Structures are given as structure tokens and as C-alpha cells.
Amino acid sequence: MPPNTTASTGQQPGKSGRRKGRKARLIVLVLVLALIGGVAFGAYWSISTVRASFPQTKGTLTLEGLSGPVEVKRDNYGIPQIYANSDADLFMAQGFVQAQDRFYEMDVRRHMAAGRLSEMFGKSQVDNDEFLRTLGWARIAKEEYDTKLSDASKKYLQAYSKGVNAYLQGKEGKDISLEYAALGFTNDYKPQAWTPVDSVSWLKAMAWDLRGNMQDEIDRALLTSRLGPKQIADLYPQYPYSRNKAIVQEGQYSELTGAFEQGGTSGTSGTSGTSGTGGTSAGAAGTQGTASGASGTSGTASGTSGLDSQLGGLTRVLDDLPPAVGVNGDGIGSNSWVVSGKHTITGKPLLANDPHLSPSLPSVWYQMGLHCRSVSSTCQYDVTGYTFAGMPGVIIGHNQDIAWGMTNSGVDVTDLYLEKITGDGYLYDGKVRPFETREETIKVAGGSPKKIVVRETNNGPLLSDRDEELVKVGKKATVDTAAPDRGDGYGVALRWTALQPGTTMDAVFAMDRAKNWTDFRKAAALFDVPSQNLVYADTENHIGYTLPGRIPLRAEGDDGSLPAPGWDPKYRWTGYVPQDALPYEFDPERGYIVTANQAVIDPDKYPYTLTTDWGYGTRSQRITDLIQSKIKDGGKISTDDMRQMQLDNSSEIARLLVPTLLKIDTGDKDVREAQKLLEGWDYTQDADSAAAAYFNAVWRNILKLAFGNKLPKELRVKGQCLWVDPVNTTGPADEAEKVRECGQRDPDQAQPDGGDRWFEVVRKLMDQPKNEWWETPKAGTRPGAADRDQLFKRAMIDARWELTAKLGKDIDTWSWGRLHRLFLKNQTLGTEGPGFLQYALNRGPWELSGGEATVNATGWNAAGGYGVVWVPSMRMVVNLGDLDKSRWINLSGASGHAYSAHYVDQTDKWADGELLPWSFSDRAVENGTTDKLVLKP
């Protein structure tokens, strides 16, 4: 057996995490390969390749280009802490060490960001590459590197690249990872040298996955094919500001006065009443007016959509793209909060963060520390935390003075524009303008290269060129009489803040070396995309929050909630919210700040529209309630209290619905048996809870009956087929006239997804028991419903028999964890490779507690099933009173090597809600070191 493949401490009996023995798995792999390719070759490939790719973590290595010795100290989880005497040596060593553990992942990421996946995986990725080349991330990243980044950042990026390439020198693919050995069976791909632009381009991929409300913009347009404005408004209710508090409540506004006066005429300031909630704007072309909070007085009726099949095509393209750091578009969330010393046991702040992203193997995060042996002008860093393999610096974490966390702000930084295409140009302000064009060549492993032409308007790249459905874009778009003739349809262009060069890489380095709030705010101002909620704490007992980012200003009447007419100049962006006008908060009197994707600020207190599509604040308000319950009557919060809050499984929608569900007479003893599970239930979704399993099944069926079956096919689950009334009918059709329509969306992207927007939808309908949404037809022997309680009864019946089929008739054997399981999959060959390779690379399942829109947000999509589709991708709690008493955990492990002891050695503990010690001081790191590698010039 190769070294470093022994399993770490096994799972305790009864724990939720499950691990199969690595030794047994490796033996099985050998046997399978032996059967497939011959005994000798199979055994050689599996064992020798696994051994060859494991990194050296002890002893001494020579790295040409270092100016002095560097130490790499790893703890018993393989987490590295790097010690150097210069910035250049520190980042060179970071590149080397990350490549040791994760180069295959890094290589895939850079190929994705550059639209070059076909070079690795062949013709199956050509469509993805065409779309990614159209977006042009790598092109923008190069411009960013050449023209925007500071000289210091360029030197760090160059040093990082030098370290990666030092690792690659002299290695063949099979010496780097198991995946390259597998790729060698199908193509002759060889890894190329790393460049600084490869690191910068990953920021664009990150921004894409955290881009805000683009999917909501598409969905609202698609909904118009079957729903009217009032119905769509029902599905996008206004944010409940009075119940779920915004992030900024005591913000300091002294800096804002001048900015408001200066920017007010070009923004939405003050008078329209649309800030943050969508309003009732009725934009041109009939494409506005179904935004969040719309009154139903503008827009068009059912059947006069705009963009049904065209935007459905765009959705399918988006679904097919591999996620960069999270679920594509909707569903991404995160928790982060900070408590000041006046409420903590230590008398100094505590800061918690757990970003919610798609589960991946290895985890998107990489834990490490970057330490100058002596901090000075030539070596400025002493920082530790989470970064991305492929990028220098630390993204989230702490240094010797401050700590910070991030959650996705969700501000609206993307807009889709309808474009009137005429010959070789497009219409704008009554004149035809020529496209900006560029030719791209896509190399294809095992095939011929393909050339494409990318066309751009003054709003951005034409996404409609990249899908056969989108070529017909606009054929159904509703436009007013002043709109240009549609001809063969309108195109769809994307305007997005990340398609301009920015300075986010500068921001990462500046945050890593910030010493106080002033430094941090200056660093945050450089963090232009993606816009994130940043929480802050320092050792001097200050806490804070700031919203950075390049956030567009739109013309009056355009809230960005629906595709806009690109030919009309009044729908152009008019500028950006001034940086000194962005909301922030410092040392609020209440002594804590909570961010969990809720509204940043009450629109009554702020003149700019940041988005119409906030998260609805369910998680943030629960965290706030937990903090308040701990500090009432002078109580104090500990590091472990913060950890326990991260694990809170309470279901707010269960708290709302269960009292009503318990009043319903189901008239069926088997259903009544399941209903009794809800009696006395405390609404917590533990993995072993039968009540949680039954409630979530009921909730899923309520959503399906009340809403899901009434949505257009573009939003429903792929393959789910229904007989529906034809579009454009004036009333219900006879059964003989109905048409069969099948859903088109991937299960983890379909609607209704069951998130807290749907909590709010149902909450508002609960006191309207006769509302038409509660009506549903009979299905076979299952009764129909004419009101709320009848629909709830039907949902309880359906849930009982659904779980009987899935879990068995005996409810004593039911548990939420049996439904709610996590599988960790290698993002390339683990999903598309042959079965034996998937077995080698993938891990799971783990039966999890938590759920949708809970603080412990192990999310599932109610339209698609109960499986876990996004997770707290890491958890951390920083103790500013004693940094060595901070705690952290990762979803998987430090290593990307499938049979390393550190491939998934943190996952069991993560699943059970445990945190690992997080050493920072020299002494603590040294005491925890198990492997030490010295890198010498």
C-alpha cells in the first residue's frame, strides 16, 4: 500500500457521516481495473499512479527562484502554514503547495474560465466553451491584469505562477493526479504552464456564480406565458422589512449627503418609491411591470409573454455550464455575523461565517496560512483562512489584527437587453450600429478545432448567438407600437459589471494586510465584483459591515427586474452608485451585525435601488433571534455558542404551517399515523427526525399542487409532464383540448424550489383560504381541492404515500437523513467518467440534518427532490480575544488526490457540526505540526 493512504479516525457509531474504508476502496479499484485492462496493467495503473501524485510533505526540496528558505508546516489534516522572509517567496511557496494538493482542480478551473474545456474533455464541452468565450472572462482578465492591477499585485501573481510552474517542472500528467492518468486513455492532453491571468480569470468565474438576480429576470419573463401580472406579483412578494430586519440598521450616513445630491438626478433617488422593492414601473415594450411588488396595473396578460422559448433556451445553456463556486444563479446563500465584546465571554468580538455553495469534491475552499517570519515593508503578511486553489492570498479569514467574512449581497449587477438585429448591426437610438466582433478558435481534444464569431452590442455580448433556441430570440416578445419591427426576432445581450476590468485582486491583498477599520474599508472599495456583504471585527473590539461593489444606476422606471429594450437609450445604465454612498455600519449600539443574504438596507432610508430580489431574511432573522436570546439579561456568547448557532435546524415554514396541518381531518388512518408525527414536534430538522421527513414531504407537495403544476414548462423539472390548457385560451379547456407539456429544467434549478421566497408567498396566502392558488384538480383516486385546507389535506395524503414508497410503510423507520443525503462528486470525471472511475473519485452518502432556508442550510430543491444541492461549504468562528482559540472546518479536505488521507478527512466532522482547532501563533502552529517541508533556493 502507498504511504499516506491510511484512514483517519473512524466515525463514531450513530453519527451521520459515513465513510467507506480507503483501503477497501483502493483494493476494489485495483480489481476492477484488472478485470477491465488486464491484471498487471490494472494493478500498476492504480497503485503506481496514486503513489506518484502524492505530494512530498517532509524533508527538503529545492525551488529555483526563491530568495531564502521557506517552511511548509502541515497539521494532522494536511492543512499547510507557510513561513517566509519576503512577499515574493511567500506567494511562490503558496503556488507550489496549492499545486501539490490541487493542480488538477486548478487546471480545470482555468480551462473553464477561459472557455477551453474542450481541450481537456473533447467535443462534449464545445457548447459550453462557445458560451464562455462569448462572455470573454479570460479576455477581460488579461485586460484587468495589464491595465488595472497594481504593480505589487502583479508581482505577487507572477511569484505565485512561478511556484505553480516549479511544481509542474519535469512532471507528466500521471505524476500530478489520478485524473490525468484517466484522461490519458482518451486524449494526449498535457498540462501547460500557469500564468498570472489564469489566477485573475477565476475571479470572473466566481463573479458569474454570485451574479445576483439574472435567473429571476429570466423566470419572470418566462412566467408571462401562463400567468398574468397579478399572479406573478404573488410569486415575488415584497420583502418583509418590518419582520425580517435589513443588515444596516444604525448606519452612519454623514458621507452620503453629498453623494445623494450629486447622483440623485441620474439614479432612482427618493421619489419613485421603487428602491429595493421593485415598485410598479411599466417600462417600454411591455417588458417591465411584473417585478417584485408589482401592483398588476402594468405589463400584459397571460399568453403575451416575451421570450418564452428564447429565454428557456438561455436557461438550458446556463444549467449546462459547470458551476464555478456554487449553484448557478438561484439558491446561493451564506451566513455571517459578528458580535462585539460587550456580549461575549472573552470581552472581544467573535465572528462567524459559513458560505453556502454547491457541494464539490474537493471543496472549493483551500485552508492555509501565509506568515512572514517578521512582518515588515518587505514581507507584509501574517494571514490565515480560506482561499481558492489557483489564487494567491486569502479570501476569507483573519490576520493578526482583524477578521472578516463574506456573504453574497445579491445586488443586481446584470441586465438582459432585447436587441433589434439588422444585417451586420443592431438598432440603437434610431440608427444602425455595427457589431463589435472577434473570432475565437476552440481546440477540441480528439477532434477538429471550431471557429466562432462573437458579436457584441453596446450593452454587451449577444448570448442569443450561442443557442439554437436563442437564435429565434424575441419572436414572442411583447413590444409596444413604438418598438422596431421584430423581423426574425430580437437578440438577447448581457450587460454585467464583471465584463469590465476591475481591481478585486488588489482588494484581496489589501484586506489580507489591513490593520484596522479604515484600512479594511479602503481595501473593500477595491472589491468591485462580485459585490459581497463584508463583516468585520478587530482585536481593538470594533465590529463593522460594508457593502462594496460596482452597482449600476438605471434610468427612472427601470428596476432591472425584466429584459429591457436595448434600442431605447433611456434603458442604458446611467452610472454606478458612488463608493462613498454604499451602505455601511460601524460599532452599532446593539452590539452585533447579521448578514444572511437579506436586504442590505430599508429602502425608506436609502435612495438607490440595489436589487428587486433580496433573499427574504428567514435565516438572518433566526440568527438575530438566537443572538438576542443569548444576550438578554446580560448573557454572554462563547465561541461554541457561535458554532451551535451555525447548526440551528429550525424550520420557519414548519412553524407557520404545522398548527393548521394538525387541525385537518385526513379521514385516513395511515395518513393520520403520519400526521401524528407533527404533534409536539419542535420544528427542528435533525437527520434522525421522522417528523422532519414527513413535514418536508408535505411542504414539497403543497408547493407542487399550489404552484408547480401551474408554472410554464421552462421552469418545471425536466421530464415532468402534465396535461395543461393551451396557451392563449380564454378559459379552462375541455379535457380533449388539453396539451401535454414536459418540464425542461434540471432538478436542482427548477421551481418552486422551496426557498424563503416561497415561504413568503405561502405566508401571504395563508389568510386567504379561498385564493385561486389553492385550487387543484383531482388526479386519479386523489381528491381535488377548492380551498387551502383541502389542498393541505391532499398534500398530506400524497406525502404519506410518497414516503411509503421511498422509506417504507413503517413510519418508525422514517428519518429526514434517509431522504436528505449528500453525495460528494468530483466535478469532471466523477460526473461524466466511466462507472469505475466515478467510484474511485466520488464519496458518500452522508445523511444530513438541516434544510432549506435554515441557518444550517443544507439546501434541497423542493421541485426536484430531497437530495442536498448546496451546503455550508465551510464553517469558521474567529475569536478575536485569542486567535488560537478560533475554530474552522472544510467540507472535504486539503487534498484533491482521491486516495490521500486528506481527501475527505474533514467531512464526517463537518457533517456532525464539529470544528477543528485553528492555530495561528508560531507556537500553536509548531505544536500542531506533523509534517514539515523546507523549500530552499
State the cell numbers at 343. 456580549
* Residue 186 confidence class, pLDDT cut points 50, 70, 90: confident
pLDDT on residue 23: 42
Q: Is the Cβ–Cβ distance between 897 and 866 less than 8 Å?
A: no
Q: What is the pLDDT of residues 251-298, one digit of tens each?
A: 754 344 333 222 232 333 333 333 333 332 323 333 333 333 333 323
Instruction: Give the residue with greater pLDDT, 418 vs 77.
Output: 77
Helix/strand/coil (H/E/C) assignment for every residue in 296-348: CCCCCCCCCCCCHHHHHHHHHHHHHCCCCCCCCCCCCEEEEEEECHHHECCCC
What are the backbone dihedrals phi and psi of residue 712, each rounded to the nearest 5 degrees, phi first? -65, 160
The pLDDT tens digits of the residues spanning 451-494 come to 999 999 999 999 988 865 444 334 444 555 566 765 656 888 99
Nearest CA to 136 out of 399, 494, 388 is that of 494
pLDDT of residue 188: 84
Which tens digits make up the pLDDT trace of 853-882? 999 999 999 999 999 999 999 999 999 999
Phi, psi of 105 (to 5 degrees): -60, -45
Strand-strand pairing, 59-62 and 931-936: parallel
Residues 464 and 479: their CA atoms lie apart, in Å, by 18
- Distance, CA of 869 to chain centre: 10
C-alpha cell at 768: 386567504
Higher pLDDT, 357 or 161: 161
Question: Tens of pLDDT along 544-559?
Answer: 999 999 999 998 777 8
Tell me the pLDDT band of 519, cut-offs 50, 70 and 90.
very high
Mean pLDDT of the 713-717 span: 91
Cα–Cα distance, 243 to 264 (Å, whole number): 29
C-alpha cell recorded at residue 521: 474599508
Cell of 99: 499545486
Predicted local distance difference test score (pLDDT) of residue 49: 57
Strand partners, 369: 81, 384
Q: Which pLDDT score, from 0 to 100, does residue 106 have? A: 96
Each residue's pLDDT tens digit, 368-395: 999 999 999 999 999 999 999 999 999 9
The 10s digit of each residue's pLDDT in 422-458 is 888 999 999 999 999 999 999 999 999 999 999 999 9
Mean pLDDT computed over 738-762? 92
Question: In the structure, what pLDDT confidence band is assigned to residue 308 with cuts at 50, 70 and 90?
Answer: low
Taking 3-state DSSP, the helix, strand and coil percentages for the chain, each rounded to the nearest 5, stand at 35, 20, 45
Residue 497, CA atoms < 13 Å, CB-side half-sphere: 30
Strand partners, 436: 456
Between residues 31 and 321, the one the model is more confident about: 321
Cell 398548527, residue located:
659
According to DSSP, the residues that pair with 546 across neighbouring strands are: 534, 584
Kindly tell me if the per-residue pLDDT of 201 is higher than 80. Answer: yes
In this predicted model, which residue has the larger pLDDT, 734 or 581?
Answer: 581
Q: Considering the chain, what is the average pLDDT of its residues?
A: 86
pLDDT higher than threshold 50 for residue 305: no
User: Confidence band (pLDDT; 50, 70, 90) for 912?
Assistant: very high
451-465, 770-784, 821-835: segment of lowest average pLDDT: 821-835
In the block, residue with C-alpha cell 421522522: 690
- What residues does 875 pair with on adjacent strands? 889
* Claim: this prediction has a pTM higher than 0.75: yes
DSSP letter, residue 383: E
Mean pLDDT to the nearest integer, 805-834: 92
Q: Which amino acid is at 608?
A: Y
Band of residue 215 on the pLDDT scale cut at 50, 70, 90: confident
In this prediction, residue 222 carries a pLDDT of 83
Mean pLDDT of the 397-401 span: 98
Percent of the chain residues topping a pLDDT of 90: 69
- For the record, the C-alpha cell of 865 comes out as 427532490
What's residue 488's pLDDT? 59
> For position 213, what pLDDT does the model report?
74
Strand partners, 348: none
**Stated length of the chain:** 937
Q: HSE (CB half, 13 Å, CA atoms) of 328? A: 17
Instruction: Note whether 286 and 299 are within 8 A (CB).
Output: yes
For residue range 11-70, list pLDDT tens digits in order.
333 444 443 344 444 444 443 444 344 344 444 455 565 667 899 999 999 999 999 999
C-alpha cell at 474: 424575441
